């Protein structure tokens, strides 16, 4: 964490690049009919980011954090109309 102030700009830029890739992919999938048309892709990304922020900053064990995020993301993705196995 001591190094974070020095790399904050790079981390933020990389994070923004990754979010843009996700947004583009979700939009593409929606255009292809893989994601429901009534879904606002931007809102879904906000919700996924919020879930990530909540669980990462809580004091759960690593295993519990992964389990909670996996369950929450699964619920969001299925709600978007993406079938999961």
Q: Is 62 helix (H, G, I), strand (E, B) or coil?
A: helix
Q: What pLDDT sits at residue 64? A: 93
Q: What pLDDT sits at residue 42? A: 93
Q: What pLDDT sits at residue 3? A: 72
Helix (H) or strand (E) holding 5: helix 4-31
User: Can you list the residues of the chain whose pLDDT is less than 70?
Assistant: 1-2, 4
Q: What pLDDT sits at residue 7? A: 82
Report the C-alpha gap between 21 and 16 in whole angstroms: 9
What's this model's pTM, rounded to 2 decimal places? 0.71
């Amino acid at each position: 964490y001591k190094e974070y102030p020095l790399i904050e700009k790079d981390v933020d830029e990389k994070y923004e690049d990754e979010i843009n890739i996700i947004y583009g992919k979700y939009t593409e999938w929606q255009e292809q009919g893989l994601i429901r048309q009534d879904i606002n892709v931007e809102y879904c990304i906000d919700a996924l980011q919020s879930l990530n922020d909540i669980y990462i900053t809580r004091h759960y064990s690593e295993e519990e954090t992964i389990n909670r995020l996996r369950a929450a993301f699964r619920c969001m993705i299925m709600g978007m109309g993406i079938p999961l196995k």
